[in-house]
Structure 1
């Protein structure tokens, strides 16, 4: 790499791509307004809360005022009602399916000094590495061997993992094919990207090579805390990060994802920050975030803050976070990651999560090492759920939840504003149900253990019976195509979608 770090940082950041969004020099996070909303809504009647829940059930986004009311509920019996309503909202929009993905960490070189992260440049305990093309292929082959069809690639912020490296990594991933147990060919059908904020020019490069969703977490929306935990590097610029997804929209990437790292500051404030972010994206582009993530701070290599923060979120409050997000943005996907322990994931799935990972390895080159039974390197943070994909699929089947590996909507053009309207009208979930069944058939034949397949066969028949009775599918003449595709997949064809 001939470009030194300082020069590279200057090339990446374009101040005009931030300033164009400011209003009178101010960004959209108004801390005084957030505090005002949280303070003024500390005492709400049960009737007020139930009116808000009715709005959520109508699949309408809540206002900041309404979200603040939910965040201030103290009555645990009322929380139980909120959990039930959140589950019903999820069912109306997404049915009983859960979409799976695998994270792939391609490099841990980083120019930043984030106090909570094992990748930060001062951490001498971290073994630094950037994967080569051949190493990426080996990682993807292992991920495919587990049954995954969707990947999120993750990179540290560094000249060696710049936009060009990311684009080349994506090309490599899309080019990997692997034979399955049934003799069919498997490949990654969608690549989402979790990477540092980029300028519009670099984002257009990722758009050209087939980026799915572009994911950037603000980490914390509280500006003083943000400054404290990001003392140096490009990530120290709060607004450069805050408007990363606005720039993605400008670059033509209409599927974006937001998130906060819960445990850095007060969780109620962070939920309000996520809502402000959602509102601003919808106001400017007519499209909110495709997904929202809510990882909790977990122990990280060489990070004292990761275990000592006074804002660490307990399990009960974590469930409340997920519930309020599902109620506040009822049509947006919610991602629960393997940071969490199995019992936590299994619980909060029931209040509205739509996506999760499994068979997760987050060390650099860790999938290939797992395949060769070698010891993993130190990781960016601690993994809580070590279950394999098959184990989680089996658990879900036993609880009548179908695993989906569908990526159809993206390839059929149901992205951005189009998919948001379909989600708001509870229409997209019906297409997703069909595609979930088709990809589930693939998984059962290509990867499932005998125990999982036995449970899966019962579940898939139940799902087919439901589809056959659903008026929507009859009205739109979808049943003939669905059954034709199902039979073709059962005979060995792959990647048929509606």
Structure 2
């Protein structure tokens, strides 16, 4: 891999101020949106057409308060989720390679002022050990995460590329990691090109909050303090050819209604400029973090009821965009949110570098709410009628960006995703599951086959025969 010791830590000139993010428009739409029951039900009915919603319609749904309309919202979200994603639920694990960070963020344990935290940037052997542990659990897809400080500690951006290569190099008897997604600080276009060449799946970056004053009040120093540099990062990623990008908001920093409408502006901007929006939206909610008093009393806390509304509204607003729910949330809350629109979840997570091979010897980035193992989560999903999916086929076959949407919107992607979910789940059951979990999983697979159309079922059955005969990594 070539040497790329760039001046990326100081070169901040290849972006423009974000004129697509207009707070006044958000405020005006929220203020003028109707709370009329008839209008709300009209929007919910439109949502069932699976064509998404505009900002006025999203703002109107944000005004729902009555139990009856809330349940109507949830019922519509369940319908849309079922129609597009069926019963499959994609699983992954985060892999933190570094907690070294030069930013001062009031809500984060990795904040540079937190002197109680031991700073670590894993070397390549340590990264491989954590990767090996995750493979042995049954994971096939990872989200690699690094604090914004690896440049000084491990040789700059090359460290990130070496880490990705190291993850892909690990092969155990039970398999390997088939796709690495990444959550990294904003990069320059030339660095994004190198990231694409490294074989990543999704590039993920959270704006945290789209409210400029709030952003300035919680990002006190470091590169992350530059709002526009961060907000324009996905433009640079897509300019570099990465057409699979993920957005996110840290709910609790500012009013969630403002954040959702601003997110809609960001998505609209990417669609206007590149023809396709984000592939995923993450919905982390503020949780306590070591050394952060702010995290214990956030400015705009989100209740469980409002959190479920957020997920349901996003599912209707952008029906073909994946929604990711992390282990920040408790098992009980996660369970309630699955059917409302969530399509990807993490499981068995650790948020400290070395956490899988060495244990939780240091505080993680935030407090986990769901401490269950991958197998426990898989068993629960199967018992609830979901099909845990470890599929990475779309990434490896180039079905990303516009190509993915071209298949998703007419419903054709289900002919690929449903069979691949079943076969990767079968692979997991044979290689990793206990007898009890395997029996529950086999029942879920058989039930899923009965629900499939003829073409998807035939494809699934052909691949299942290969998996059961000993072949692995079979997909369509």
Q: Confirm or deny a common fold (TM above 0.5).
A: yes
Contact 2:92 2:143 in 1 (8 A): yes
- Structure 2: distance between partners of 1:61 and 1:217: 22
Offset at 1:39? 0.7
Contact 1:258 1:293 in 2 (8 A): yes
Matching of residue 486 in structure 1 with residue 464 in structure 2: yes
| Residue 10 (structure 1) aligns with | 10
Offset at 1:422? 1.8
SS state of the match for residue 10, structure 2? Answer: helix
Matching of residue 394 in structure 1 with residue 388 in structure 2: no
- Structure 2: distance between partners of 1:479 and 1:116: 47
| Residue 269 (structure 2) aligns with | 280
Deviations 1:288-344 (A, max 9, x none): 110001101111111111011231111111111111111111110000000000000
- Structure 1: distance between partners of 2:446 and 2:6: 59
| Residue 291 (structure 1) aligns with | 280
Computed over aligned residues only, the root mean square deviation of the Cα atoms, in angstroms, reads 1.6
Q: 1:345 aligns with which of 334, 339, 351?
A: 334
| Residue 183 (structure 1) aligns with | none
Alignment of 1:310-325 (within 5 A): 310-325=299-314
| Residue 380 (structure 1) aligns with | 365
| Residue 34 (structure 1) aligns with | 26
Alignment of 1:105-254 (within 5 A): 105-158=96-149, 159=151, 160=153, 162-180=156-174, 186-254=175-243
Offset at 1:483? 2.7
Contact 2:78 2:341 in 1 (8 A): yes
Offset at 1:195? 0.4
Contact 1:256 1:291 in 2 (8 A): yes
Alignment of 1:401-440 (within 5 A): 401-440=386-425
- Structure 1: distance between partners of 2:373 and 2:249: 26
- Structure 2: distance between partners of 1:361 and 1:429: 31
- Structure 1: distance between partners of 2:185 and 2:219: 14
Could you tell me the TM-score, scaled by structure 2's length?
Answer: 0.96
Question: Could you say if the C-alpha distance between residues 116 and 461 of structure 1 is closer, same or farther in structure 2, counting changes exceeding 3 Å?
Answer: same
Offset at 1:358? 0.7
SS state of the match for residue 40, structure 2? Answer: helix
Offset at 1:396? 1.1
Gaps of 5+ in 1: 181-185
**Further displaced range: 51-60 or 356-365:** 51-60
Deviations 1:175-227 (A, max 9, x none): 111113xxxxx100110000000000111111111011000000000000001
Contact 2:419 2:459 in 1 (8 A): no
- Structure 2: distance between partners of 1:480 and 1:266: 48
- Structure 1: distance between partners of 2:286 and 2:449: 40
**Aligned residue pairs: how many?**
469
| Residue 445 (structure 2) aligns with | 460
- Structure 1: distance between partners of 2:458 and 2:418: 15
Contact 1:258 1:292 in 2 (8 A): yes
Offset at 1:421? 2.3
**Further displaced range: 430-439 or 458-467:** 458-467
- Structure 2: distance between partners of 1:152 and 1:196: 14
- Structure 2: distance between partners of 1:218 and 1:123: 22
Gaps of 5+ in 2: none
| Residue 104 (structure 1) aligns with | 95
- Structure 1: distance between partners of 2:102 and 2:46: 44
Offset at 1:27? 2.0
- Structure 2: distance between partners of 1:55 and 1:188: 40
Offset at 1:125? 1.2
Alignment of 1:66-81 (within 5 A): 66-81=57-72
Contact 1:163 1:203 in 2 (8 A): no
Offset at 1:480? 5.1
SS state of the match for residue 298, structure 1? Answer: coil
- Structure 1: distance between partners of 2:208 and 2:461: 45
| Residue 332 (structure 1) aligns with | 321
SS state of the match for residue 257, structure 1? Answer: strand
Offset at 1:6? 12
Q: 2:427 aligns with which of 438, 442, 452?
A: 442
Q: 1:50 aligns with which of 41, 61, 68?
A: 41
Offset at 1:451? 1.3
Contact 1:295 1:339 in 2 (8 A): yes
- Structure 2: distance between partners of 1:108 and 1:90: 35
Contact 1:149 1:187 in 2 (8 A): yes
SS state of the match for residue 422, structure 1? Answer: helix
Offset at 1:8? 5.1
Contact 2:103 2:221 in 1 (8 A): yes
Deviations 1:413-470 (A, max 9, x none): 2110011222222221231110011101101100111111111111111122233xx1
Question: Could you say if the C-alpha distance between residues 238 and 179 of structure 1 is closer, same or farther in structure 2, counting changes exceeding 3 Å?
Answer: same
SS state of the match for residue 195, structure 2? Answer: helix
Contact 1:108 1:128 in 2 (8 A): yes
